[in-house]
Amino acid sequence: MMTEQPNDRLFMTTAIEEMKKSDAPIKVGVAIIVDGQIISSAFRTKGEHAERAAIRLAVERGANLKKAILYATLEPCVDLRPEQQVQCCADLIVSSGIKEVVIGRYDPNPNIYRQGWKRLRDGGVYLRDFHQDLREEIDEINSRFMGFFEKGIGPTGGAKVGHKDKGKFLVQFAEDDDRTMEIAWTVAGINAAYGYASRPVKVAMARFAKTFDEVDDPTAYEFRNSVRIEVGEIGIFKGPEACVLVKPKQIESGQKYGNTDYFVSFDYQVRITKHR
Ligand SMILES: [Zn+2]
């Protein structure tokens, strides 16, 4: 059984209040506590992760981090690429000597999920979770982010994918048909995205079509490995057993969302071509 701090809830709430100030696409807040006192708090900006900013502030204030507890609304990050230049937050926390971390939310990105926790655990950090109702509040604030990694279920639906999951999205054909097809997006400038397909899936543009209804036979088009699709246009991913029609509704990237951040929001419709 994990030990609660006397002011645990206050410290969790402090991290959430910081999170609300964040202007990054994925909002994160952090509070660092030493001897029951809030020593520093920070939120994620486009330039710096909240953990790094809060640790920097605590060090500037002369805090003894060996006695510190760090409250973070999101699981601290790990480095996913060997060429990453900035030390990831999980390693930074371990090397700073922080003894305990309380996590608001595990990263829903399947590439990161629980890896931050493991890195900290392996580094000898004691770990706890936020209260459940506060975790729900965090999810609410980051609802767009939390929706990124869901699998969609056909025959129709809407979804939003982002750079954190490399723009990938998995469509299950229907509630009672568990066959799936993966599609992927990358941003191609203002209000446009590339639909990407990897074998055996191919992708086409239903040029001039404005609605899914205007597509009669979805296999009748010119299929390639990638096509550029603008907001309002219709694209078609064709797999061996189904086609997934897509219509981007909103595409954002660039300065406003940081250099690598983007998201594509789209509607989709599954047309099964090979029944079981
Ligand atoms: Zn980080």
35 and 124 co-located in one domain? yes
Furthest C-alpha separation in the chain: 68
How many domains does the chain fold into? 2
In the reported structure, the alpha carbon of residue 90 is separated from the centroid of ligand 1 by a whole-number distance in angstroms of 7
pLDDT at 1 over 80: no
Average confidence score pLDDT of the chain:
89
**Torsion sign over Cα 39, 43, 44, 48:** negative
135 and 181 co-located in one domain? no
pLDDT tens figures, 210-224 = 999 999 999 999 999
Q: Which residues are catalytic?
A: 51
pLDDT at 124 over 70: yes
Q: Cα–Cα distances in Å, from 192 out to 114, 232, 241, 263, 264?
A: 33, 10, 27, 11, 9
Q: Identify whether 172 is part of a domain.
A: yes
Give the mean pLDDT of 92-101.
97
In the reported structure, the alpha carbon of residue 237 is separated from the centroid of ligand 1 by a whole-number distance in angstroms of 35
pLDDT tens figures, 162-203 = 776 778 888 889 877 878 898 999 888 788 999 999 889 999
174 and 138 co-located in one domain? no
Residue 260 confidence (pLDDT): 64
183 and 248 co-located in one domain? yes
Last residue of a domain, one of 144, 168, 198: 144
pLDDT at 228 over 60: yes
pLDDT-derived band at 258, boundaries 50, 70, 90: very low
In the reported structure, the alpha carbon of residue 93 is separated from the centroid of ligand 1 by a whole-number distance in angstroms of 10
Give the highest mean pLDDT range of 69-73, 141-145, 263-267: 69-73
Residue 172 confidence (pLDDT): 84
In the reported structure, the alpha carbon of residue 78 is separated from the centroid of ligand 1 by a whole-number distance in angstroms of 7
pLDDT-derived band at 252, boundaries 50, 70, 90: confident
Structural domain including 122 reads: 8-144
CA 200, CA 76: separation in Å to the nearest integer?
Answer: 36
